[in-house]
Structure 1
Amino acid sequence: MSLGIWEMLALLVVVVLIFGAGKLPKVAGDVAQGIKAFKRNMKDEDEPVAPAHPPAKDPVLLTAEKVAADRDRPQV
């Protein structure tokens, strides 16, 4: 089943009534960005994704690093 010219015109009229003529370019741009992002993410799905945040360091290790840095700093 395909859409005929009258169905497409009716759909366009409904969209204009809902969003208004002034917001249509913004809505179309947002939809296009969403489609591009979806396609990009589908293409990159096979590649491993790096974590958003690096793993937190162990507090004991941080304390040891601070002690070593303090020890190496010249005394005034």
Structure 2
Amino acid sequence: MALGPWQIVIVVLLIVLFFGRGRISDMMGDLAKGITSFKKGLRDDEDGAGSGSTAEAPRIASQPAPAPAEPVAEPAREDGSTS
């Protein structure tokens, strides 16, 4: 069953009566802002992925290794044993 032109007109009039002209235009404006924001986000992702491969990787400064600790000699015991 297809919708005829009069049925479409009646549905549009009912929508305008329920929501009002101002509210419908506000919703359409919000929808347009959302679509624009979504497209901008997609462009930013593509730009970020493309420039990330050509950008130089961050360099980490190398630090010298700590000096090895010298072993502490145990004092000699009076009986001559080491342990």
Alignment TM class, shorter chain as reference: 0.3 to 0.5
TM-score by length of 2: 0.38
Which one has more relative contact order, counting CA pairs under 8 Å at least 6 apart?
Answer: 1
TM-score by length of 1: 0.40
Larger radius of gyration: 2
